[in-house]
Amino acid sequence: MDMKILCVGDVVGSPGRLVLRETIEEVVPKRGIDCVIVNAENIAGGSGLTAQLYEKLLRYGVDLITLGDHIYRRRDIIPVLETSDRVVRPANYPPGAPGREYAVCETKSGVKVAVVSLMGRLYMKPPSSCAFAAADRVLAKIPQDVKIVVVDMHAEVTSEKVALGWHLDGRVSAMFGTHTHVPTADERVLPKGTAYVTDLGMTGPYDSVLGRDKDRVLSAMRTGVPARFDVAEHDIRLCGVVVTVETTTGRATAIERIRIDSKGDATAT
């Protein structure tokens, strides 16, 4: 039996929440999506995740949540990270960091899906340990009855993501990159059955600079004078991939890059 997993790239602010909600309400049922995995580290005003927005994501229908370098930006998310079985921290953070190294959800059809988050080491803060070693360690912990495993590599440098994809080929169902907010066109199923894409892209306003008001970013870049980078509001899109996985083996059989435009410029509720 095959199942479909929707993996959604960095959701930015209320515009990103709007198109995510629209997609889950309308597109997910139409396309027969069984599991929704979302990177939500920019969802609260463009930086971090709050406890309130975590609950809102679950109400939308999100199954599993990954984060990244802004994971602890909102302090009220720390108790959620310590108790929730639906959200993960990067597994190569220090051992005492709040949060789980992997999470498992069971879909309505009874299929278990695990998610793992990792962080790149090049040009990223805070510093983290080796993602390759952390992946090996965490994969050994995941129960053997969980055949489907998805990995989010939150990294700046594409070579780290590509290398990790080859390292994990045949060992996980899918690996996607996040963080750069720019979707890449290299989606494919690797030879041993791992669906791969270097970056899912951003879910949010594209009339912007990576989700932020373009005029303010341009002014800061041109003058060197710091400015508040507010979240932009227009040209809202969801970007990500749909991965088809064979449930008994955990091998991916297809990956499709998707873009869904919002119905309008509005604020999510």
Q: Where are the beta strands (DSSP E) in the chain?
A: 2-8, 35-39, 64-66, 102-106, 112-119, 148-154, 174-178, 188-189, 195-197, 204-205, 236-246, 252-261
Contacts of residue 44, Cβ cutoff 8 Å, sequence gap at least 6: 13, 50, 53, 73, 74
Counting runs of H as helices and runs of E as strands, what totals does the chain give? Answer: 7, 12
For residues 67 and 54, give the distance between their C-alpha atoms in angstroms, rounded to a whole number.
11
Please state at what angle helix 13-22 crosses helix 51-60, rounded to 10 degrees: 20
Cα 237 versus chain centre, distance: 15
Beta bridge partners of 129: none
For residues 54 and 232, give the distance between their C-alpha atoms in angstroms, rounded to a whole number.
22
The one catalytic residue in 70, 154, 179, 181 is 70
The residue among 148, 56, 144, 138 whose CA lies nearest residue 109 is 148
The residue among 22, 66, 67 whose CA lies nearest residue 268 is 22
Q: Sort 112 into a burial class: Cβ within 10 Å, 0-12 / 13-18 / 19+.
A: middle
Residue with tokens 């994809």: 165
Q: Is 181 a catalytic residue?
A: no
For residues 237 and 165, give the distance between their C-alpha atoms in angstroms, rounded to a whole number.
26
Tell me the catalytic residues: 70
